């Protein structure tokens, strides 16, 4: 009861005491929008997958120990409504179990081995709770790009929102989703937390899409930008950001920076961070 009261009071303070709290801009979270060739921020895809199994605490600990600005993760709800970190709809690929996340209880998921598939030294690694990720985030300086997988109801959004506010990290979290209904629920339920839309293929009017859902940015693919090379310019003119995923080679990184993207999501965050530092203008 006390924890719930704290969350409610925090939300009231955000929405009432800070009148402009629901107006979140891309630059608040991403810094100045980039010009072509300028360094983009780096987001570790599911942690640092180069050093540990994806979406596990070892992968996030490696990312938090680095110079990265953002750490990206995926959240789903278990059958009993507990948020856990898992990219796929099923646990089959990254654990020793089978079945859909939404059809397994927390107890069943926590009993799984989420590390042996990656390397023997990670045997016994568990699927993390979203709470565990937030605890680690609270103790570090990075920002979190939190993708809500699939469709989320307002009640589900409130579950993760409560956990975020309880730890006081609401100013370092950005929500993301492919599902536009989920994005709409985020806008209604968590207006003070910035949100981004993930679109594998950019629409003809990405600015209109972002503005309709009050999103601060769109995450897309390099191929999509190749088909519409002026999209980044139009987004930036509207004060909106552009991120690309998931780029793992110097060739792709160089192409992305040439467009002036603001962030790059990668499976090799430490390598990309070092490459940007070595190739940035003036270094």
pLDDT 10s digits, 173-183: 999 999 999 99
Asked if the structure places residue 64 within a domain, the reply is: yes
Contacts of 278 (CB under 8 A, 6+ apart): none
pLDDT 10s digits, 50-95: 999 999 999 999 999 999 999 999 999 999 999 999 999 999 999 9
When divided into structural domains, the chain yields a total of: 1
Residue 113: pLDDT over 80: yes
Res 17: pLDDT: 40
For range 215-219, the mean pLDDT: 98
Q: Please give the radius of gyration of the chain, using alpha carbons only, rounded to the nearest integer.
A: 18
CATH number for the domain spanning 186: value is 3.20.20.190
Q: Half-sphere exposure (CA, 13 Å, Cβ side) for 187?
A: 17
Asked if the structure places residue 261 within a domain, the reply is: yes
Asked if the structure places residue 9 within a domain, the reply is: no
Asked if the structure places residue 12 within a domain, the reply is: no
DSSP 122: G
For 46, 97, 206, 231, the CA distances from 217, given in Å and listed in that order, are 19, 36, 9, 12
Cα–Cα dist 177/190, whole Å: 14
Cα–Cα dist 82/87, whole Å: 15
Q: Provide the sign of the torsion angle of the four alpha carbons 137, 141, 142, 144, taken in this order.
A: positive
pLDDT 10s digits, 196-208: 999 999 999 999 9
User: What is the average pLDDT score of the chain?
Assistant: 92
Asked if the structure places residue 54 within a domain, the reply is: yes
Asked if the structure places residue 17 within a domain, the reply is: no
Q: What percent of the chain has pLDDT over 90?
A: 88
Cα–Cα dist 72/77, whole Å: 17
Asked if the structure places residue 179 within a domain, the reply is: yes
Domain range enclosing 132: 37-279
> pTM of the full predicted structure?
0.90
Asked if the structure places residue 10 within a domain, the reply is: no
For residue 15, name the pLDDT band (cuts at 50, 70, 90): very low
b/e map of 72-86 (b: 16 or more CB within 10 Å)? Answer: bbbbbbbbeebbbbb
């Amino acid at each position: 009861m006390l924890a719930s009261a704290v969350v409610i009071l925090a939300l009231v303070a955000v929405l009432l005491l800070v009148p402009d709290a629901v107006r979140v801009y891309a630059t608040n979270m991403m810094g100045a929008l980039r010009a072509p060739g300028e360094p983009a921020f780096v987001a570790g895809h599911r942690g640092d997958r180069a050093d540990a199994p994806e979406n596990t605490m070892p992968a996030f600990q490696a990312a938090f120990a680095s110079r990265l600005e953002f750490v990206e993760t995926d959240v789903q709800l278990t059958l009993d409504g507990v948020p856990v970190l898992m990219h796929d709809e099923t646990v089959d690929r990254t654990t020793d179990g089978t079945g859909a996340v939404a059809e397994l209880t927390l107890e069943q998921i926590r009993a799984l081995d989420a590390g042996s598939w990656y390397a023997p030294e990670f045997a016994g690694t568990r699927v993390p709770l979203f709470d565990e990720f937030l605890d680690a985030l609270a103790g570090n300086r990075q920002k979190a790009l939190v993708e809500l997988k699939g469709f989320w109801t307002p009640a589900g959004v409130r579950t993760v929102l409560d956990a975020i506010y309880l730890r006081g990290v609401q100013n370092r979290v950005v929500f993301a989703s492919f599902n536009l209904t989920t994005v709409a629920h985020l806008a209604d339920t968590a207006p003070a937390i910035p949100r981004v839309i993930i679109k594998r293929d950019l629409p003809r009017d990405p600015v209109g899409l972002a503005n309709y859902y009050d999103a601060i940015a769109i995450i897309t693919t390099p191929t999509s930008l190749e088909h519409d090379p002026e999209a980044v310019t139009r987004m930036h003119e509207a004060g909106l950001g552009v991120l690309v995923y998931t780029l793992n080679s110097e060739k792709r990184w160089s192409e992305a920076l040439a467009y002036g993207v603001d962030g790059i999501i990668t499976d090799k965050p430490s390598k990309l961070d070092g490459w940007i530092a070595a190739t940035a203008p003036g270094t």
